[in-house]
Amino acid sequence: VPYDVVLEMDEINDDFADTDVTLVVGANDTINSAAVDDPNSIIAGMPVLHVWESGQVIVLKRTMGSGYAEVDNPVFFNENTGMLLGDAKTTCDALNMKVSELL
């Protein structure tokens, strides 16, 4: 992705509440709501993307394992979150093909 189209967290976080669907590819700690909601978490205060504020969140990951910080991610268990486990490239390619068929 070209850097000129990438936004900083503080530039994008306010937009998530107005976002219908957020597709997360391979992130864990950077979308962990415990950084915001749990003052006792070891990642408390860490800057994160507030994807959980979106209408729907779809997370693509290889497994349900924790990230680098070894902290469980509550976002994965939210009612508005769906998990697509497996190889992210394969899954993105399949999603792209299905969406293209619908258009």
Catalytic residue list: 29
Query: What torsion do the CA atoms of 48, 36, 19, 97 make, to the nearest 10 degrees?
Result: 50
Residue 11 CA to residue 6 CA, distance in Å, equals 10
Residue 53 CA to residue 13 CA, distance in Å, equals 9
Residue 60 CA to residue 87 CA, distance in Å, equals 8
